Structure 1
Amino acid sequence: MPSQTPLFDTHVALGAKIVDFGGWDMPLAYGSQLEEHHAVRQAAGMFDVSHMLNVDVLGASAPDFLRHLLANDVAKIAGMPGKALYSCMLRPEGGVIDDLIVYFFASDRWRIVVNAGTAAKDVAWMQEQAKPFGVTVTPRRDLAMVAVQGPKAREIVWSVHPEWKAATQDLKPFTGTLVDENTLVARTGYTGEDGFEIVLPATAVKAFWDALAAAGVHPCGLGARDTLRLEAGMNLYGQDMDETVHPYESGLAWTVSMKDDTRDFIGRAALQAAARDRELVGLKLLERGIMRGHMKVRTAHGEGELTSGTMAPTLGYSIALARVPVGSQPGERVEVEIRGKWLPAEIVRPPFVRNGKALV
């Protein structure tokens, strides 16, 4: 049986269509997926992301452990309480176990937020790797998480919790703060819009959700979350990367830090030896149709495959991410096979949309 978040009954009461996502019963949409998408681009929408898992990493050797565990270097954020870092966690062969966010609270206190579908294997992997370092890796299923996204999101959150404003109004992007011992307010998200992700006790999440709804925030499901993240050019684990591909093939070279020659993170040797013959690019379709994952792509440099594709509500045409042979440049024409026909598309550089504005 799929797991359920503390807000499951609320989603059902709102008439959401429930689907299995990563082993969790989650809302796909509450009615119109397009309305939910546009609510985030134009005002504010909220997502139950409590299926994702917060994991506390505690101990004096936590920095050394995390510098070994992750491809990005947590030394970049050490000493900056609340600062977040995006990284991949790799297998020794270089494949991506998961993409995640790590927060620094103190030298002996960190937090990692991992994806729902990979949470069990992530925790098992982290706990095994942590043994030589003497740190504890503790999953926090007592916590829930709500993402509030859109140009009006922060102001509405402050209207619901005015006592949070002083501590959060000056937060820079990809930074958070503990407004109390168990509540983290972070200026992060997965939509290409501003807003907050709030981690709070599971016992408090329904009252928070209901207060946001009363203040005019539109509940949004996985459908809108997917179109929003793809417009923002953000990868989805299991589609755009997984354990069979390394970060250089997934548009994630920027998350790999090789600057410190003495840092021997898991997967480093494999990445240094890996062939760089494929890359992830953005596509926009030049004719009517909708691109979807696993469709074939023909480029001047050889064949590739779509990893994610959708109709972009903000743009009015179909967009996609595709893994193709290296060498393609923005502006080049390619062809995508849709229902037996090869349709023209153009290579573009993601993101497609940011802060409500088209970039391609």
Structure 2
Amino acid sequence: MLKKTVLNSAHRALGARMVDFGGWDMPVNYGSQIEEHHAVRKDCGMFDVSHMCPVDLTGAECRPFLSRLVANDVAKLTVPGKALYSAMLNEAGGVIDDLIIYFLSDTRFRIVVNAGTADKDLAWMRARAAEWQLDVTITPRRDGANALAIIAVQGPNARARVWQVLPQLKAASEGLKPFFAAEVDRYFIASTGYTGEDGFEIMLPATEAEAIWQQLKDAGVAPCGLGARDTLRLEAGMNLYGQDMDESVSPLDAGLAWTVAMKDARDFVGKSALTAAGQQKAFLGLVLLDKGVLRGHQQVITKQGNGEITSGSFSPTLQQSIALARLPLGVAIGDEVEVDIRGKLLKAKVTKPVFARNGKAVI
């Protein structure tokens, strides 16, 4: 039996094409995936991300717990509302999950973890809290009486449309810099997202989600599915757990070295393994020069050896096929490589792993 978000009936009423996404019944599109993609780049669109799991962390020892749990340094979080992107690693340095941590107070944090990894994440967190004997309470907020839904509204006109529907959020959110959040009564509004565009991710009581979704739609916000979400995040160079990294992949080899604070004396799970292994692969972008479509697991042939595409698709913004790839060290931006597509070697150019943001191409 597939799990359903509180907005499932709303998606079906709109005629969404539903798919099994990691055990969740989710909309892949509502008609044209390309139109949904362009709506976010040029105007605004919204996504149901209620399958993601918000986790409230409370207690006197939240900071010491998070300091050991994740690879990034929560000491950076000094202003209430500030968010931090990080990876939670196993002892071998592999990525259990990538997540966002919101700092609310020294005794209260909110973590948002991926849908398909939520159960193992919670088990891992609780086991570490018990092992380290730290005073923290870990409370998931996806189910039950206190369940939260999450609606992401993204695009150049996203802020205006959100304030049109939820004017009470404007004062607290209009000054939010990227990667900050504010609490307004029962709403939690964050200037985070997964598209490379401006906008908000709004957490709200699950009981109110369907009404707010409809009001946003009536205000001209385009409902968008997983298909557009994937091409948008790929263009923005954002990793997808399970494709670009997993428990067998080091964050150093997944383009996430910037989220790993190695230089201070702080110890965290996986640090010794990362220190011993170092970076072994380069994480770079590809643009296909020949006709074809880049996909995950295709082999990339370079002068330094072979690599592999982790995520690939046609880019609606660039009108070219693009990919993220794990390649041998020494491969450089601007190099020409070949991709094995069904036995044919097609030419591709190595780029920075960011292709489009804020409505336009950046390569």
Tell me the TM-score normalised to structure 1 length: 0.98
Measure the CA separation in 2 of the matches of 1:212 and 1:73.
Answer: 36
- Shift in Å at residue 276 of structure 1? 2.3
Secondary structure, aligned partner of 1:226: helix
In the TM superposition, 1:225-264 aligns within 5 A as 225-261=229-265, 263-264=266-267
Secondary structure, aligned partner of 1:4: coil
2:176 counterpart of 1:175: no
Moved more, 61-70 or 269-278: 269-278
Question: Contact 2:283/2:353 (CA < 8 Å) preserved in 1?
Answer: no
Which residue identity does 1:210 align to in structure 2?
Q
Secondary structure, aligned partner of 2:171: helix
Secondary structure, aligned partner of 1:200: strand
2:101 counterpart of 1:102: yes
Query: Residues 5-38 of structure 1: CA distance to partner in whole angstroms, max 9, x if unpaired?
Result: 0000000110001111111100000000000000
Query: Residues 160-200 of structure 1: CA distance to partner in whole angstroms, max 9, x if unpaired?
Result: 111211111000000000011x3110000000000000000
In the TM superposition, 1:6-17 aligns within 5 A as 6-17=6-17
In the TM superposition, 1:41-56 aligns within 5 A as 41-56=41-56
Measure the CA separation in 1 of the matches of 2:278 and 2:61.
Answer: 34
Measure the CA separation in 1 of the matches of 2:291 and 2:236.
Answer: 21
- Shift in Å at residue 339 of structure 1? 1.9
Q: Name which of 324, 332, 335 aligns with 2:335.
A: 332
In the TM superposition, 1:208-287 aligns within 5 A as 208-261=212-265, 263-287=266-290
Question: Contact 1:130/1:137 (CA < 8 Å) preserved in 2?
Answer: no
Secondary structure, aligned partner of 2:232: helix
2:189 aligns to what?
Answer: 185
2:86 aligns to what?
Answer: 87
Gaps of 5+ in 1: none
Which residue identity does 2:134 align to in structure 1?
F
Which residue identity does 2:113 align to in structure 1?
V
1:300 aligns to what?
Answer: 303
Root-mean-square deviation over aligned CA pairs: 0.7
- Shift in Å at residue 260 of structure 1? 2.0
Moved more, 159-168 or 215-224: 159-168
Measure the CA separation in 2 of the matches of 1:219 and 1:125.
Answer: 34
Tell me the TM-score normalised to structure 2 length: 0.97
Secondary structure, aligned partner of 1:81: coil
Gaps of 5+ in 2: none
1:153 aligns to what?
Answer: 158
Measure the CA separation in 1 of the matches of 2:278 and 2:156.
Answer: 41
Percent identity, aligned pairs only, is: 62
Which residue identity does 1:324 align to in structure 2?
L
Measure the CA separation in 2 of the matches of 1:121 and 1:220.
Answer: 28
Query: Residues 304-357 of structure 1: CA distance to partner in whole angstroms, max 9, x if unpaired?
Result: 111000000000000001111111111000000112100000000021001011
Measure the CA separation in 1 of the matches of 2:342 and 2:226.
Answer: 26
Which residue identity does 1:326 align to in structure 2?
L
In the TM superposition, 1:21-32 aligns within 5 A as 21-32=21-32
1:195 aligns to what?
Answer: 199
- Shift in Å at residue 275 of structure 1? 4.2
Secondary structure, aligned partner of 2:301: strand
Question: Contact 1:147/1:197 (CA < 8 Å) preserved in 2?
Answer: yes
2:329 counterpart of 1:313: no
Q: Name which of 265, 290, 293 aligns with 1:290.
A: 293
Extract structure 1 runs of 4+ deviating beyond 4 A: none
Question: Contact 1:296/1:337 (CA < 8 Å) preserved in 2?
Answer: yes
Which residue identity does 1:221 align to in structure 2?
G
Measure the CA separation in 2 of the matches of 1:107 and 1:276.
Answer: 33
Measure the CA separation in 1 of the matches of 2:117 and 2:173.
Answer: 30
- Shift in Å at residue 2 of structure 1? 1.2
